[in-house]
């Protein structure tokens, strides 16, 4: 699990859960710097994180620090003005070159709201996975839960169909099932810097896998969207749907 908004106080709970053998999934924590406004505050946060940067525990690791690059849904930075306010082009807080992680369920669930802010043409161009992959960008994918609905196959389905709550948006940006699966496995591991440990079923790598009662590659439409694994194996141990070993 990549948890992308962990405060320092919240993170203190995770090592305690690990010590109590109550942590039943691998966690990669992104410590939140949202709201920090100065270099001193960032340096203080990094000092707080110093003891968490070991990286040797395959169950619990700090993945990095989360900064907000722009104003989000209501104030995301755009080259052209907003559809609802022609004097406003969003708020850019950082300008960096970064890997891209796509949250397709977010587009599916919020497309109607997004059209009100940005207009239908720009919403159709959101998450242009086809173009990014063709350009060789480093791309992975996730759910953005709880903003988007959780479920890897819901995300795969969205990437291959471009379906949203108000219909298909930007079908030219759709990718294949195999490409979408790669974004959630090998590319997700690469995003965390763990491509040598996870992402493929290879001897010597961590024994994590999911078991399905049908082949997702042969499912289409709603059947793929709603498909969930029947079992999950983490570290070679069977984990029940309730998360208990």
Residue range 103-134, pLDDT digits in tens: 999 999 999 999 999 999 999 999 999 999 99
Which of the four pLDDT bands, split at 50, 70 and 90, describes residue 244?
Answer: very low
Checking if the pLDDT of 242 tops 60, the result is no
Helix residue ranges per DSSP H, the chain: 8-11, 13-19, 39-49, 104-118, 120-124, 129-134, 152-161, 177-184, 186-191, 222-225
Residue 43 within any structural domain of the chain = yes
Residues 157 and 224: beta-carbon distance below 8 Å: yes
Residue 31 within any structural domain of the chain = yes
How much is the mean pLDDT over the chain? 91
Residue 137 within any structural domain of the chain = no
Residue 87 within any structural domain of the chain = no
- Report which of 99, 125, 107 is spatially closest to residue 188, judged by C-alpha positions: 99
Residue 197 within any structural domain of the chain = no
* pLDDT at residue number 243: 45
Q: Could you list the residue range(s) of the whole structural domain that residue 26 is in?
A: 1-67
Residues 208 and 233: beta-carbon distance below 8 Å: yes
Our count of domains for the chain comes to 1
Which of the four pLDDT bands, split at 50, 70 and 90, describes residue 95?
Answer: low
Residue 200 within any structural domain of the chain = no
* Tokens at 212, concatenated: 């399905």
- What global pTM score does this model have? 0.73
Residue 10 within any structural domain of the chain = yes
Residue 45 within any structural domain of the chain = yes
């Amino acid at each position: 699990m990549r948890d992308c908004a962990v405060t320092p106080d919240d993170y203190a709970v995770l090592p305690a859960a690990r010590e109590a053998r109550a942590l039943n999934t691998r966690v990669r924590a992104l410590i939140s710097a949202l709201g920090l406004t100065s270099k001193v505050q960032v340096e203080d946060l990094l000092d707080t994180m110093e003891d968490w940067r070991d990286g040797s525990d395959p169950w619990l690791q700090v993945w990095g620090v989360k900064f907000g690059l722009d104003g989000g849904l209501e104030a995301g930075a755009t080259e052209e003005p907003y559809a609802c306010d022609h004097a406003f082009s969003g708020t850019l807080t950082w300008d960096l070159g970064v890997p891209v992680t796509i949250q397709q369920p977010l587009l599916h669930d919020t497309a109607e709201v997004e059209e009100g802010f940005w207009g239908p043409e720009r919403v159709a161009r959101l998450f242009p996975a086809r173009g990014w992959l063709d350009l060789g960008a480093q791309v992975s994918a996730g759910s953005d839960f709880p903003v988007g609905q959780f479920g890897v196959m819901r995300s795969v389905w969205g990437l291959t169909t471009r379906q949203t709550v108000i219909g298909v948006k930007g079908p030219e940006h759709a990718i294949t099932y195999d490409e979408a699966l790669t974004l959630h496995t090998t590319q997700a591991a690469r995003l965390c810097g763990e491509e040598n440990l996870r992402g493929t079923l290879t001897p010597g790598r961590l024994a994590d896998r999911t078991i399905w009662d049908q082949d997702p590659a042969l499912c289409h439409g709603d059947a793929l969207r709603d498909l969930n694994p029947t079992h999950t194996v983490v570290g070679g141990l069977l984990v029940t749907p309730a998360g208990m070993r």
